[in-house]
Structure 1
Amino acid sequence: FAHSIGVFHTARALVEILDREMKRNKQIFDGRMAEVALIAALLHDLGHGPFSHTFEGVQDSRGVKKRHETWTADIIRNPNGKVRSLLEDHRDGFTEEVAALLEKEDPEHIYHAIVSSSFDADRLDYLRRDKLMTGTGAGGIDFDWLVENVRVAEIEIDAPDEDGGEPRRVPTFCLTAKARPAAEQFLLARYTLHQQVYFHKATRCVEHMIGKLLRAVAKLAAGKKSDVKKSGLPENHPLIRFFAKKGETVENYLALDDALVFGAIDAMSQAEDADVAEIATRLRERKLYKTLDIAEFGEDPGRQRGRLRRIRERFADQIKAETVMLDDKAAIGIYAEIGGDEERMHKKLHILDGDNPVEISKLSDLVHVLETKKQFTRLYFATEADRDAARR
């Protein structure tokens, strides 16, 4: 909630910048589209499930590809919900304008950049907020100087087509050349937060443990009535309702949040199902799985792959049973973001080289070096003995 308010506040600052830049470029500022972008910024995370991207990963493992952006749009459009009526009271059709902007993957106009770009309100808020809330010394950015040097310019978001047609161009936020050092620090801040906070071994281990618990509950909920009872949860519990066959409705989804899962941990720790009971008890008592980082064997990629291969062969049965969990999906580069789509050109930071916007890695050796993604590969072991055996 606090993040959403912060994103809304930052979006208002970006709207003021946009108004300034439109006047500078002798263009007409569209107040109606700015309103759409502001409310989209406020509501952008409405569709996150419990534990955010962890829940999305659980759903993905079950073959459900629905991302939180789509849930957000469904919640906004829900005729039985409270959001739609508020938006329609503002003006007819406002609901669809906001939902459609949030669903768009590629930008069509500059107002989209407020919600989704290299310099959007979301990342400008979470970088500062997460640094503050985690207490890390890493991740500082010169926000005021960056904002002062924001400009609007058109960038190419598609390569030329085979017929030699012109690539598609869209306007987005760029930074002046004198802000390049601050822009480098902005990207480094994201890099270090991922490295030290989001991809911290304890963070990733807990996420995998929660994922294992929710997958086990989902499997029972989708089974027979006798299976549901083994979860430790009553038949009408929101988790059971959602994971049941045909249970993925907006109404059931809205009943889920972090507090609901935390509140169910004790009941699940007494489940008949051994997997549910074991992982719930561990989470309640903070008895985390033991981490082995493949980087312990050195930085040489060949050596790492060799050790990982031997571990996977030796612990194949445990990996299948998830008493050993393999985490090989975390990778960090200068544009890395959890659940992100950072390869899209409008999500990359551009610096004005004269009047020409240039992607920053082409101007900055520092950014160029960090473009290549660094893979984090870890294994989480139910027992310390197995972890120690894997090290040998």
Structure 2
Amino acid sequence: MLRNISQNLPLEPEYVDAAHPRDSQPELKLTDRDVDCVELAGLCHDLGHGPWSHVWDGSFIPIALAGTGKSWKHEDGSEMMLDYLVSDNNIKIALEDQRFIKALISGERARAPHEKGFLFDIVANKRNGIDVDKLDYFHRDSHMIGDPIHLSLTRFVKSARVINNEICYAIKDANSVYELGQARFKLHKLIYNHKTGKLPR
């Protein structure tokens, strides 16, 4: 009988798992194709990172390409690797879907203007930077340096809603957004831009 008594009853509605967007926001008309393309973009987004991840992108590549007039982002490599994987493994995927996945990897809505715009907020969000890529490496990297961020990503993500074709977060999650910004600043200051991770020029 005591197990039915909750000390946190006032909080429980805030932490109940939200329904899948297809159920909670049927007006979005999410399709299996939408879900598949976003999942594939998420899986492939970081394939183009070289060794040492951001050090490779931010230090090695600029030195290697200096004077060539060429530029490089890891997303470029990710798109190239996706094309290679599809071709080399003879994966049957519609060319339109492949283009959509690549646009999602780059986060460039203009490359697939006929697709649902809010889907571009998921993998590589160029609008406000809150995307699954950052949520993943913020948690991973902060844990690896022994100072994990304490943020309920499940609750944060599940409380999101699409409004005016953009993924938005409830005002009750303003502190979570603040914590993400703080975590980003801290990780860039302490790890990604640390002098020991820079190549000499």
What is the TM-score when the length of structure 1 is the normalising length? 0.39
- Find the counterpart in structure 1 of residue 171 from structure 2: 177
Q: 1:176 to 1:83 in 2, by over 3 A?
A: same
Give the SS at the match of 2:46. coil
1:146 pairs with 2:151: no
- Find the counterpart in structure 2 of residue 69 from structure 1: 75
Q: Which has the higher contact order (CA 8 A, sep 6+)?
A: 2
1:34 pairs with 2:40: no
Question: What amino acid sits opposite 1:149 in the alignment?
Answer: S
Instruction: Tell me the CA shift for residue 174 of structure 1.
Output: 1.2
Give CA deviations for 1:118-138 in whole Å, capped at 9, x if unaligned: 321101100100011122x26
Q: 1:62 to 1:48 in 2, by over 3 A?
A: farther
Preserved contact between residue 79 and residue 102 of structure 2 (Cα < 8 Å) = yes
Q: 1:17 to 1:190 in 2, by over 3 A?
A: farther
CA distance, structure 2, for counterparts of residue 20 and residue 194 of structure 1: 37
Which structure 2 residues correspond to residues 330-369 of structure 1 after superposition, within 5 A?
none
Question: What amino acid sits opposite 2:136 in the alignment?
Answer: D
1:116 pairs with 2:121: no
Instruction: Tell me the CA shift for residue 59 of structure 1.
Output: 3.6
Percent of matched pairs sharing the same residue = 24
Give CA deviations for 1:241-284 in whole Å, capped at 9, x if unaligned: xxxxxxxxxxxxxxxxxxxxxxxxxxxxxxxxxxxxxxxxxxxx
- Find the counterpart in structure 2 of residue 188 from structure 1: 182
- Find the counterpart in structure 2 of residue 126 from structure 1: 137
Question: What amino acid sits opposite 2:61 in the alignment?
Answer: E
Comparing both structures, which one devotes a greater share of its residues to strand?
1
CA distance, structure 2, for counterparts of residue 180 and residue 144 of structure 1: 15
Give the SS at the match of 1:132. helix
Give the SS at the match of 2:151. coil
Give the SS at the match of 1:49. coil
What is the TM-score when the length of structure 2 is the normalising length? 0.71
Give the SS at the match of 1:173. strand
Instruction: Tell me the CA shift for residue 44 of structure 1.
Output: 0.8
The structure with the larger Rg is 1
Question: What amino acid sits opposite 1:32 in the alignment?
Answer: R
Give the SS at the match of 1:88. coil
Which structure 2 residues correspond to residues 1-392 of structure 1 after superposition, within 5 A?
17-23=20-26, 26-51=27-52, 52-53=56-57, 54-63=59-68, 64-78=70-84, 82-86=85-89, 88-89=91-92, 91-93=93-95, 94-106=97-109, 108=113, 109-117=117-125, 118-135=129-146, 137=147, 139-154=149-164, 171-203=165-197, 207-209=198-200, 212=201
Preserved contact between residue 103 and residue 109 of structure 2 (Cα < 8 Å) = no
Preserved contact between residue 46 and residue 78 of structure 2 (Cα < 8 Å) = yes
CA distance, structure 1, for counterparts of residue 184 and residue 24 of structure 2: 26
CA distance, structure 1, for counterparts of residue 168 and residue 51 of structure 2: 34
Instruction: Tell me the CA shift for residue 145 of structure 1.
Output: 3.0
Aligned-pair Cα RMSD in Å: 2.5
Instruction: Tell me the CA shift for residue 104 of structure 1.
Output: 4.8
Q: 1:194 to 1:130 in 2, by over 3 A?
A: same
CA distance, structure 1, for counterparts of residue 90 and residue 124 of structure 2: 21
Instruction: Tell me the CA shift for residue 85 of structure 1.
Output: 4.9
